[in-house]
């Protein structure tokens, strides 16, 4: 019985490792400049955790095989040094592994969040609200007009509560329901939530950012491949969370300028 | 009883029945609702987050907060008798409010206090209709595609903005009326309120962005009185 259990453990461990090693479920192609760091981090984590997992399961299977159905004469070996030594060893092994992953992963995080965007990055404001994302481009004056929350009126498409009558900088702002960016251009996202917590996630861009109400979050990225990608909300925000998404269009420079002109005409 | 009395009684009876048989024809108040100045530009609606609705349009639909018509007319204006007439019992038929193409049809639905309203979802997506009253009870209801109409009613007269919790661009209005003398203007801005017994009335016109205006009118018989409303359009 014990030996059968040992074999079962081995089989389950190997079967579950196969799709990971064979890359059966690959992440979609990376279209960002920083994405490869995140993908490498992911591979390293899977490798380290995977090897540790297999080693642990192998050891477990071995001990079960060896010591199941033992008579009373066979004495169990104990960890050299006793229980305290075992705990310290476990802490060291796991601790070092986790620390290593953290240290080597810092660059991936810092590249997106801790390095400032370059001066020529294109700013786009993102507002997440139940249950849609809306975007704002600053227009030719390069400035975002002030937001007046009491003027927000979704029925008349005034999503940001702009006062174009009194605020001059708001007059050329371009508010859209889709986010378009030129390819190979650094984008500086300025993100806030209108109501509750939301999250902005584009798989291919390797960008995921929670919106905490009251916080202004900033991140930057550069998209490297044209195409249409989904922006989905990945933080449960209410009954329409399942339906909350927008589309990201990565366009050539010319196509982007044309798109922006068309959007400006609809303001 | 003398012959003179009989003849008098007969004449009185005939006159009385003639007046009674004439029926409730009453007078009519009619006119036009127009605007002066420049109304704000109605933006087009981007429904890309709901592809099942977006694909129903070849050109994106426009916001309907101010709908103008030929000859500087205003559409979707509710014109009604706000004073001078007693309340009416609710009719037995239901007023229908449809969600189609991720829009509310009609944009303004007028019905009476305690009249049944039926909310229908003809789209392939779920909606969550959320009227925002100040006097009546507030509720919101989810309606997946293919589910039966929602039946509701309101017991207080009020103008109620309506939104969809799932689709932020969806916007409409309920006009809950106290009596049966109301109408909504179409293209041309014309309105006509008929069957008004003699009396002094207040006619009110309500537009969701421009507010309301009232005028007094007196009906003495079965004449038609003209009342026009001119709203000041706001460019922003």
A240 CB near a chain B CB, below 8 Å? yes
Residues in chain A with CB shorter than 8 Å from the CB of B63 are 155-157
pLDDT (0 to 100) of residue B196:
94
pLDDT (0 to 100) of residue B13:
64
Pairing state between β A227-233 and A245-251: antiparallel
pLDDT (0 to 100) of residue A245:
95
- Considering only the beta carbons, identify the residue of B43, B49, B209 that sits closest to A246: B49
- Considering only the beta carbons, identify the residue of B63, B128, B171 that sits closest to A240: B128
CA atoms within 13 A on the CB side of A188: 14
Does residue B2 carry a pLDDT above 80? Answer: no
Query: What whole-number distance in Å separates Cα of residue A208 and Cα of residue A199?
Result: 7
A64-78, B167-181, B191-205: lowest mean pLDDT where?
Answer: A64-78
Q: Name the residue in chain B with its Cα closest to that of A133.
A: B49
Return the CATH number of the domain spanning residue range A122-265: 2.60.40.420
Whether residue A186 contacts residue A221, with contact meaning beta carbons closer than 8 Å, is answered with yes
Q: pLDDT for A36-53, tens place per residue?
A: 988 988 888 888 889 989
Q: What is the mean pLDDT of chain B?
A: 92
DSSP A220: E
Among B133, B62, B154, B75, residue whose Cα is nearest residue B103 = B62
Whether residue B75 contacts residue B69, with contact meaning beta carbons closer than 8 Å, is answered with yes
Whether residue B37 contacts residue B232, with contact meaning beta carbons closer than 8 Å, is answered with yes
DSSP A135: E
pLDDT (0 to 100) of residue A168:
94
Place of tokens 């706001």: B234
Helix orientation angle between A35-67 and A2-21, rounded to the nearest 10 degrees: 170
A50-54, B107-111, B128-132: lowest mean pLDDT where?
Answer: A50-54
Q: pLDDT for B8-44, tens place per residue?
A: 666 666 655 555 554 557 899 999 999 999 999 999 9
Q: pLDDT for B46-78, tens place per residue?
A: 999 999 999 999 999 999 999 999 999 999 999
Residues in chain B with CB shorter than 8 Å from the CB of A267 are 43
A43-47, A55-59, B8-12, B183-187: lowest mean pLDDT where?
Answer: B8-12
**What confidence tier does A267 reach under pLDDT thresholds 50, 70, 90?**
confident
Residues in chain A with CB shorter than 8 Å from the CB of B236 are 163-165
In degrees, rounded to 5, the angle at the alpha carbon of residue A193 between the alpha carbons of residues A251 and A204 is: 35
Does residue B6 carry a pLDDT above 80? Answer: no
Whether residue B164 contacts residue B105, with contact meaning beta carbons closer than 8 Å, is answered with no
Percent of chain B with pLDDT over 90: 87
Place of tokens 């490498």: A40
Residues in chain A with CB shorter than 8 Å from the CB of B132 are none
Query: What whole-number distance in Å separates Cα of residue A100 and Cα of residue B217?
Result: 85
Residues of chain A with CATH 2.60.40.420: 122-265
pLDDT (0 to 100) of residue B213:
96
- Considering only the beta carbons, identify the residue of B45, B166, B236 that sits closest to A157: B45
Q: Name the residue in chain B with its Cα closest to that of A262.
A: B44
pLDDT (0 to 100) of residue B14:
62
Query: What whole-number distance in Å separates Cα of residue B193 and Cα of residue A112?
Result: 65
Domains of chain B: 26-85+181-236 (2.60.40.1120), 90-180 (2.60.40.420)
Among B63, B52, B57, residue whose Cα is nearest residue A245 = B52
Q: Name the residue in chain B with its Cα closest to that of A176.
A: B46
Beta-carbon separation of A156 and B63 below 8 A: yes
In degrees, rounded to 5, the angle at the alpha carbon of residue A254 between the alpha carbons of residues A253 and A260 is: 90
A156 CB near a chain B CB, below 8 Å? yes
Whether residue A225 contacts residue A31, with contact meaning beta carbons closer than 8 Å, is answered with yes
Residues in chain B with CB shorter than 8 Å from the CB of A240 are 128, 165-166
pTM: 0.85
Query: What whole-number distance in Å separates Cα of residue B6 and Cα of residue A267?
Result: 81
Mean pLDDT of A95-103: 87
């Amino acid at each position: 019985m014990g030996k059968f259990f040992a074999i079962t453990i081995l089989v389950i461990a190997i079967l579950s490792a196969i799709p990971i090693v064979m890359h059966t479920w690959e992440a979609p192609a990376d279209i960002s400049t920083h994405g490869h760091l995140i993908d490498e981090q992911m591979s390293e984590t899977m490798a380290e955790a995977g090897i540790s997992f297999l080693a642990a399961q192998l050891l477990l299977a071995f001990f079960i095989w060896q010591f199941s159905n033992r008579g009373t004469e066979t004495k169990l070996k104990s960890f050299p040094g006793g229980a305290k030594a075992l705990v310290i060893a476990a802490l060291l092994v796991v601790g070092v592994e986790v620390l290593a992953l953290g240290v080597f992963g810092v660059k991936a995080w810092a590249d997106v969040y801790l390095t400032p965007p370059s001066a020529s990055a294109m700013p786009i404001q993102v507002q997440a609200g139940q249950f849609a994302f809306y975007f704002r481009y600053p227009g030719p004056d390069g400035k975002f007009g002030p937001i007046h929350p009491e003027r927000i009126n979704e029925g008349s498409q005034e999503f940001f509560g702009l006062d174009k009558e009194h605020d001059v900088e708001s007059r050329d702002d371009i508010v859209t329901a889709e986010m378009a960016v030129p390819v190979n251009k650094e984008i500086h996202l300025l993100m806030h939530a209108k109501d509750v917590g939301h999250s902005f996630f584009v798989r291919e861009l390797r960008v995921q950012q929670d919106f905490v109400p009251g916080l202004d979050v900033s991140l930057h990225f550069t998209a490297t491949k044209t195409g249409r990608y989904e922006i989905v909300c990945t933080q449960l925000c209410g009954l329409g969370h399942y339906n909350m998404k927008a589309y990201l269009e990565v366009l050539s420079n010319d196509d982007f300028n044309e798109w922006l002109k068309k959007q400006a005409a609809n303001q | 009883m003398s012959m003179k009395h009989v003849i008098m009684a007969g004449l009185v009876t005939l006159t009385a029945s003639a007046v009674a048989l004439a029926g409730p024809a009453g007078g009519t108040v009619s006119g036009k609702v127009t605007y002066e100045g420049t109304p704000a530009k109605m933006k087009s609606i981007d429904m890309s987050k709901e592809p099942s609705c977006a694909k129903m349009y070849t050109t994106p639909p426009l916001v309907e907060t101010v709908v103008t018509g030929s000859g500087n007319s205003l559409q979707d204006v509710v014109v009604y008798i706000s004073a001078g007439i007693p309340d009416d019992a609710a009719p037995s038929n239901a007023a229908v409010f449809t969600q189609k193409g991720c829009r509310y049809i009609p944009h303004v639905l007028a019905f009476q206090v305690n009249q049944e309203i039926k909310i229908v979802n003809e789209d392939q997506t779920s909606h969550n209709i959320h009227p925002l009253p100040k006097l009546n009870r507030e509720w919101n209801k989810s309606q997946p595609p293919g589910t039966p109409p929602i039946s509701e009613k309101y017991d207080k007269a009020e103008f109620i903005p309506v939104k969809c919790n799932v689709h932020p661009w969806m916007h409409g209005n309920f006009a809950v009326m106290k009596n049966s003398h109301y109408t909504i203007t179409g293209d041309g801005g014309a309105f006509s309120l008929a069957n008004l017994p003699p009396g002094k009335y207040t006619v009110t016109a309500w537009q969701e962005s421009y507010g309301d205006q009232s005028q007094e009118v007196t009906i003495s018989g079965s004449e038609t009185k003209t009342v026009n409303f001119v709203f000041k359009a706001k460019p922003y």
